[in-house]
Structure 1
Amino acid sequence: MTSSLKGQVAVVTGASRGIGLGIARELVQRGAKVCITARNAEPLDDAVRDLGGADHAIAVAGKSDDPAHQEEAVARTMETFGRLDMLVNNTGINPVYGPTLDTDPVAAAKIFAVNVLAPLAWTRLAHAAWMGEHGGAVVNLASIAGIRASRGIGMYGVSKAALMRLTVELAAELGPDIRVNAVAPAIVKTKFAEALYEGREEKVIRSYPLGRLGVPEDVAGAVAFLLSADAGWITGQTLVVDGGVTLGGGL
């Protein structure tokens, strides 16, 4: 990457650990300031310290699909930093495992509320607060589960497919001043994905041509690229970051 993010400000949801914290760290290293969100205040406070303290980051605790939390985070970002150039919709949930037909409707609705409708709401608020007048960039965290069958996590995959479609629609509607893209990782070694590889990692990585699972830094670099001016002619796209597993392997 050739473009610095110095002077720019981002909101990164779900960023107290894992991929979200990795993304926030990458953005700070490239000169940006960030507002990070997650459900619990204590790990967020730890994350702010990890990011260099109040000069670089603030944190707002709350549920990603809670409108009051969304509004507070965006308002705090504007009050603290005076702008909002970048939005990373990282928060995602998958509270169920098993056949898609057996998914409880209440659980399915919650998955869509967090994984699809919340990113739409965050984007709407970022647009109203700053991006609509000044421009900006949005990156949604999708998954390869949204581009092929993923047994056991089918409804999660359906939600990520919808998020990728939402990315396309928003990109078409918000250009030319706002770019909207997505990143679709395969298995990344985080607490969220432990059930997909724990105790059988060597078997799982046989399907990966690059010979390993992902780490948060793999995704963070891709997100930072899509947010930067280096990706200034890219919008409405989903960048697959998967170690090559979709070339023919399986989860």
Structure 2
Amino acid sequence: MNHDNEVNARRLTGKTALVTGASRGIGLAIAQRLVAEGARVAITARKADPLAAAAASFPAGSVIFVAGKSDDPVHRAEVLSTIADEFGGLDILVNNAGINPVYGPLMGLDLDGARKMIEVNVLGTLAWIQGAYRHERLDFAARKGSVINIASVTGYTPAEGIGMYGITKAAIIHLTRTLAVELGPDIRINAVAPAVVKTQFARALYEGKEKDVEAAYPLGRLGTPEDIAGAVAYFASHDSSWVTGQTLTLDGGLLAAGGTA
């Protein structure tokens, strides 16, 4: 964890959070940042062993974990009930779980893969929010809950080979705006839209050509998971108490320079 995580230490003291897709990369960095700022965090991911290893890296008592698929309603119900049992309520929901199992132009797209992406990336995100909102013991609305959805700059601009992924992220951006209207004033809904971040998930976008990719970014580098975590912590905190329905682009200036994802 770098020193930047200490800047707003304890800003989230007393808060509880759920971060999906948090065994590595952006999700893990977000969970680390929220814990560093004082929150207790539940983390989820599909694979049990990497999730358990990630949980073991946190200070004792700061994290609980439940493995399972984000598009599985039984898993979602188990996670939310476990949070109610262990933490007594929920204040922050970070929807980071997402997949991109297909690559190539839309005209050659495998429609079953596309349906799976919609199920996980879009409907899974909505289902987590519905679950938190409806759960009688989480008091998410009464606690003035904050939802942060992880979108992508591909939701704004076409990206070669990952068009369907971008379509699901465009849906997340609009979902964020729509729910902000529907759930205010009790719940705030915001999103972040990263460009290429140096993670295992995105490695095909920069591996073996990192310098060339970085050259398109006015800030001269790719993103890091910690870059995203800092923005999420802002949306999770009282510092953003008058912000809802917004998507913050985190792209090192890429779109401003006319670049694409």
- Using the size of structure 1 for normalisation, the TM-score is 0.97
Match of 1:26 in 2: 33
**Is 1:196 the equivalent of 2:202?**
no
Match of 1:116 in 2: 122
Match of 2:231 in 1: 222
**Is 1:99 the equivalent of 2:111?**
no
Residue identity opposite 1:22 in structure 2? A
Please state how far the C-alpha of 1:133 moved relative to its aligned partner.
3.0
Separation (CA, whole Å) in 1 of partners of 2:233 and 2:52: 23
> Is the 8 Å Cα contact of residues 26 and 226 (structure 2) preserved in structure 1?
yes
Identity %: 55
Residue identity opposite 2:119 in structure 1? A
Match of 2:20 in 1: 13
Separation (CA, whole Å) in 1 of partners of 2:128 and 2:191: 15
**Is 1:78 the equivalent of 2:84?**
yes
> Is the 8 Å Cα contact of residues 45 and 51 (structure 2) preserved in structure 1?
yes
- Structure 1: which 5+ runs fail to align? none
Say which of 46, 59, 63 aligns to 1:52: 59
> Is the 8 Å Cα contact of residues 158 and 260 (structure 2) preserved in structure 1?
no
> Is the 8 Å Cα contact of residues 44 and 68 (structure 2) preserved in structure 1?
yes
Separation (CA, whole Å) in 2 of partners of 1:48 and 1:106: 33
- Structure 2: which 5+ runs fail to align? 1-6
**Is 1:131 the equivalent of 2:137?**
no
Residue identity opposite 2:59 in structure 1? G
Matched position secondary structure for 1:11: strand
Please state how far the C-alpha of 1:208 moved relative to its aligned partner.
0.3
Residue identity opposite 1:9 in structure 2? T
Separation (CA, whole Å) in 2 of partners of 1:131 and 1:172: 17
- Using the size of structure 2 for normalisation, the TM-score is 0.94
Residue identity opposite 1:246 in structure 2? L
Please state how far the C-alpha of 1:69 moved relative to its aligned partner.
0.5
Please state how far the C-alpha of 1:100 moved relative to its aligned partner.
1.2
> Is the 8 Å Cα contact of residues 90 and 143 (structure 2) preserved in structure 1?
no
Say which of 30, 37, 45 aligns to 1:38: 45
Separation (CA, whole Å) in 1 of partners of 2:124 and 2:58: 25
Separation (CA, whole Å) in 1 of partners of 2:107 and 2:85: 46
1:11-42, Cα deviation, whole Å (9 max, x unpaired): 00000000000000000000000000001111
Separation (CA, whole Å) in 2 of partners of 1:128 and 1:35: 18
**Is 1:249 the equivalent of 2:234?**
no
Separation (CA, whole Å) in 1 of partners of 2:154 and 2:64: 31
The root-mean-square deviation of aligned C-alpha atoms, in Å, is 1.1
| Moved >6 Å (runs of 4+) | none
**Is 1:89 the equivalent of 2:98?**
no
Relative to its length, the structure with more helix (as a share) is 1
